[in-house]
Amino acid sequence: MNIKNYDIYLSRTTSALCLFLILSEANVWLNPINNTLLVLGYRLFIIFTPLFFIVFKHRLSFIAFILAELGITAWIYNYLLTGTLLFSIGIAISGYMLKYYSSFTTKGAAGNKIALNIGSIFSGLIVAMFHNIKFILIFCLIITATSFFSFFKYYCRENLSQLTTEKSHFKFNKIFSPMGIAWASIGFVIGVKLIAIVSILPQFIMQNNAGHLPAWFGGMLIFNSLFVVLFQIPIMNTVKKFNKIQSLLPLILAMIVISFSYAFGVSSLYGALVWTLCLSIVECAVSFLDKLSQDDGFLLIKEISVGLGSAATVLCIRTFSPQTGSTIIGSVSLLLLGISILIFHCN
């Protein structure tokens, strides 16, 4: 991580802390509809980014942080649907823009992922210690404000108001091109992997724990994030030598693991630990896809599709049994990866 960029990394860490706290608690706090909307929206609502960018340019991140704050406030006053919509839009746009500014280099993409997982580590600690949702929401208000002001410092230091941006980075006109379909499919699968630890894993655990999450679940979040913080750069240095097709191999392995989650005995501490370790290794590897999609001009399309994958995962895992849901979503993801490999091979 480049220390001089501590301000944008701090903004990413604090916004990620807020997001993962709410995603973890949503399993027991929000109803299935709002939970699915949250998971869908915090990525899919990136679709509003081009519209916001036309009006606000590089100031749109500030507007996004304000929307997230309004959403949290609505939750505090029990306006659940309003809160879910506002928070999802705000966290989606701000998260995308923070990744956008970081992903022009391989080191920047790695730094963004490390900052995100530091936030996840702290969220795991808080989940393990506190279960009062009002306290957590008020805390999220404070740390989202911290994210706002940290980004403000980065905005001023980098003089973002004068930054020239490729128009293609904020357009959807290539989404139905072969490469657009390939990157959208990859984004969907990344969404499955991304949400698995806070969606698939807790559903397996609660199934065998009277509908409650044990304290060690927070430890799984910490373990996943700590692993990424420690091994992100070494693994990234290895996979950056891969071509596009080779870079998809870790995702294929992840989907096989998810498809056979029940075989790991993930409702137990040791089974969950092995399962989480497998997905943590993959998480480090797939960060390179941020750089590849940015180079191809498809980062926005990929990130929107991440939301579809995450929402589909929650829908499957909340509609069917954890065993059936994980097998369905893992199998669909393997099919999509096969399509992407075919397109990359033909191009």
Listed range (119-123, 249-253, 322-326) with the worst mean pLDDT: 119-123
2: left (phi over 0), alpha (psi -120 to 50) or beta: beta
- State the average pLDDT over residues 325-337: 97
Domain boundaries, the chain: 3-346
Cut 0.85: pTM above it:
no
Report pLDDT for 73. 96
Give the pLDDT score at 168. 58
Amino acid letter, residue 273: L
**Model pLDDT, residue 170:** 63
* Per-residue buried b or exposed e for 177-198, using 16+ beta carbons within 10 Å of the residue's own CB: eebbbbbbbbbbbbbbbbbbbb
**pLDDT greater than 70 at residue 141:** yes
Is the pLDDT at 132 greater than 70? The verdict is yes
125-133: average pLDDT: 81
Check pLDDT > 90 for residue 104. no
Average pLDDT over residues 56-69: 92
User: Is the pLDDT reported for residue 293 higher than 60?
Assistant: yes
Distance between CA atoms of residues 282 and 290, nearest Å? 14
Per-residue confidence at 108, pLDDT binned at 50, 70, 90? confident
Say what percent of the chain tops pLDDT 70.
96
Mean pLDDT is lowest, of 29-43, 65-79, 89-103, 195-209, for 29-43
Question: Are the C-beta atoms of residues 183 and 286 closer than 8 Å to each other?
Answer: no
Closest CA to 102 of 184, 175, 4: 4
pLDDT given at position 36: 80
Q: How far is CA 118 from CA 204, 247, 308, 328, in A?
A: 25, 24, 25, 31
Helices of type H across 172-321: 178-207, 216-239, 249-259, 269-286, 288-296, 299-319
Report the C-alpha gap between 60 and 54 in whole angstroms: 9
In the chain, what is the straight-line distance between the N-terminal and C-terminal CA atoms, in Å? 33
Confidence grade of residue 165 (pLDDT, cut at 50, 70, 90) = low
The yes-or-no verdict on residue 2 having pLDDT over 60 is no
pLDDT of residue 4: 59
Q: What is the pLDDT of residue 166?
A: 64
Distance CA 333, CA 331 (A): 5
pLDDT level of residue 251 (50, 70, 90 thresholds): very high
Q: How confident is the model at residue 172 (pLDDT cuts 50, 70, 90)?
A: low
- Give the per-residue pLDDT at 306: 86
On the question of pLDDT at 3 being above 70, the answer is no
Nearest of 104, 13, 29 to residue 72 by alpha carbon: 29
pLDDT averaged over every residue in the chain? 88
What share of the chain has pLDDT > 90, as a percent? Answer: 48
For residues 205 and 331, is the Cβ–Cβ distance under 8 A? no
Residue 270 confidence (pLDDT): 94
Residue 290: what pLDDT? Answer: 86
Mean local confidence (pLDDT), 204-223: 83
Confidence of residue 218 (pLDDT cuts 50, 70, 90): confident
Q: What share of the chain is helix, strand, coil (3-state, %, to 5)?
A: 85, 0, 15
Topology classification of domain 3-346: Growth Hormone; Chain: A; (1.20.1250)
